[in-house]
Structure 1
Amino acid sequence: MTDPASLRDMTELRAEIDATDKALAALLAHRARLIDRAADIKAGNGLPARITSRVDEVLDNARANAGACGLDPDLAADLWHRLVEWSIRREEAALGRE
C-alpha cells in the first residue's frame, strides 16, 4: 500500500483507490470461497448456517481489528454485519435451508 501522503495529485490518488478496491474485491472473493467451504463442512457435521456465538465473535473481531488500524469500529461493525448476514444466506442456500 502506498502512503497517502506521498500521492501528489488526484490521478495518483484515484489510481491508489482503484488498486485498493481491487485488492478488497479479491479478499472478499476469497472470503466467499471460505464461506462455501464452511457450508461443506457444516453439512457434513449437521451444523446450522447461523451459529450465534460465532457471529458475535466475528463482529467483535471486526470492531477490534478496525480500532487497531485506525478505522471507525462502528463502520466496521456495520459492514461486517452485512457481510456476515450475506454469508449466512449463502450457507443456508448451500445447505438447502433458505
Structure 2
Amino acid sequence: MTLESKVNTPKKQKRNIVIGSVLLASSLICIILTVIFIYVSSQANKQIESIREDYRKVADRRDSKVMKLAGQVEDLQKKLDAIPDRTATKTADKVKQVVAEDDKK
C-alpha cells in the first residue's frame, strides 16, 4: 500500500459511514411515515364506519316512518273508496223511497 491510499482510507471510511447514516436515517423516516399512515388510515376507517352506522340508523328510522305513513295512507284510501259506495247506496235507497212514495200517490 502506498502512502496515498493509507491517507484516503480514513476519508473513504468516513464517507461510507456518513452515507450509511443518511440511508439509515431515511429508512427510519420511511418506517415512521408508514406507521403514521397506517394509524391515520385506521382512525379514518373507524370514523367512516361510525358515520355509516349513524346513516344506517337514520335510514332505518326514515323507513319505519315511511312504512307507518304508507299504512295510514292505505287506511285512508280504503275509507275514501268506501265513501262513494255508501253514498251511491244511500242515493239509490232514497231514489227507491221517492219512487215508491210517488207510486203510492
User: What range is the shorter-chain TM-score in?
Assistant: 0.3 to 0.5
Length-normalised TM-score, structure 2: 0.35
Quick one: higher RCO (CA 8 Å, sep 6+), 1 or 2? 1
Q: Please identify the structure whose Cα radius of gyration is greater.
A: 2
